[in-house]
Amino acid sequence: MVSVRKLIAGNWKMNGLSNQIVEAVAVAEDLARNPPKARVAICPPSILVHRIAERLARSIVEVGAQDLHGEAAGAFTGDTSGEMLHDAGARVVIIGHSERRTLHYEDDAVVSGKVNAALRAGLEPIICVGERLEHREAGQALEVVCQQLERSLPMTLDGRAFVVAYEPVWAIGTGLTPTLDEIADMHRAIRTLLVERFSNGAARPILYGGSVKPSNAADILHTQDVDGVLVGGASLLAKDFLPIIRAAE
Ligand code: PGA
C-alpha cells in the first residue's frame, strides 16, 4: 500500500475581513515552532489570498482559493481566473464544493472544465464530491459519489498532482458525520476508482470533509484510506484548526 502524506485543508468559505488574517498567521507561527508531519493549506476568500500569501511566504502553510473561472482572462465580470489566483500566491484550489454545485448550479461538466483550468494555471485542484441525505438513506451513496467522480475528473489529471475531497452534503455545517465505517467504505471505493483511472491514483490524497472538529479529527484521520480532512467552520480560528492539524500525527 502506498503511504500518502496527509493534507489538512481549511476552507474559510465567505468568512473573514482583514482582521481574520491574524488567524492564518497564528497557525503558521505555531507550525514554524513545531513543524507538523502533515501538509497544511488555508483557503481564504479570494480577496484575502494575496495578503495572506504574502504574510505566509516563508511558512510551510500553503494558501489556496475556493473556486476559479474556467478561462484565463476575458469578459467575465465578477470572476477570477486560476492564473490570477496563482499570481496572487495561491497554490491549491477547491473545485466543485457542494455549495458551488448547489448555489451556483455547477454540474460535473463545469467542475471538470475548472479542473483543467486549475492545471493550466499551475494550481493543484481539490475536487469535491458527496452525496445528499436522500441518496445516503436510499443506499445509493457509493454509486452517486463514484458517478460524480467519473464525470468530474478529466483524464488530463493523469500523472498530475490532485486531491479528492469526499464531503457528504448532509454533513457540511450540520454537526452530523457518517460513521467511521461509512467513511472507510466510501474512501475505499474512491481509491479503487482512482487506481483504475490514473497511473498515480494510488498516491493521490483522499480527504474527508463535513463537520470535522477537534473532537472527532483524530478518529477520522486514522480511518483507513483517509489521507486528510477539508475543514470549514473549525478552520476559522487557530485554536480550533491547530488541534486538527496535530491530530494527524
Ligand atoms: P464544515 O464544512 O467543516 O463547516 O462542515 C466543510 C466544508 O464545507 O468544506
| Coil vs helix vs strand at 64 | strand
Closest to 130 in 3D by CA, of 93, 68, 162, 177: 177
Query: Is 135 considered catalytic here?
Result: no
The more confidently predicted of residues 4 and 122 is 122
Ligand 1: atom nearest CA of 234 is 3
Q: Which pLDDT score, from 0 to 100, does residue 1 have?
A: 62
Give the gyration radius of the chain's Cα atoms: 17
Residue % of the chain over a pLDDT of 70: 100
Query: Is 143 considered catalytic here?
Result: no
Residue % of the chain over a pLDDT of 90: 98
Q: What distance in angstroms lies between residue 172's CA and the mean position of ligand 1's atoms? A: 5
Q: Which pLDDT score, from 0 to 100, does residue 192 have?
A: 98
Q: How far is CA 63 from CA 1, 70, 167, in A?
A: 29, 20, 21
Q: From the candidates 97, 99, 106, 124, which is the catalytic residue?
A: 97
Average pLDDT estimate for 24-28? 98
Please say if the pLDDT value at position 205 is more than 70. yes
Q: What distance in angstroms lies between residue 75's CA and the mean position of ligand 1's atoms? A: 32
Ligand 1: atom nearest CA of 94 is 9
Nearest CA to ligand 1 atom 6: 232
Best probe residue, ligand 1, of 101, 231, 235, 240 (max atoms within 8 Å of C-beta): 231
Please say if the pLDDT value at position 237 is more than 90. yes
Band of pLDDT at residue 20, cut at 50, 70 and 90: very high
Q: How far is CA 152 from CA 22, 49, 50, 175, 189, in A?
A: 35, 25, 28, 27, 16
Q: Taking a C-beta distance cutoff of 8 angstroms, is the pair 129, 149 a contact?
A: yes
Q: Which pLDDT score, from 0 to 100, does residue 3 have?
A: 81
* Owner of C-alpha cell 467504505: 185
Rounded to whole angstroms, the Cα distance separating 229 from 3 reads 16
Average pLDDT estimate for 128-142? 97
Average pLDDT estimate for 87-113? 98
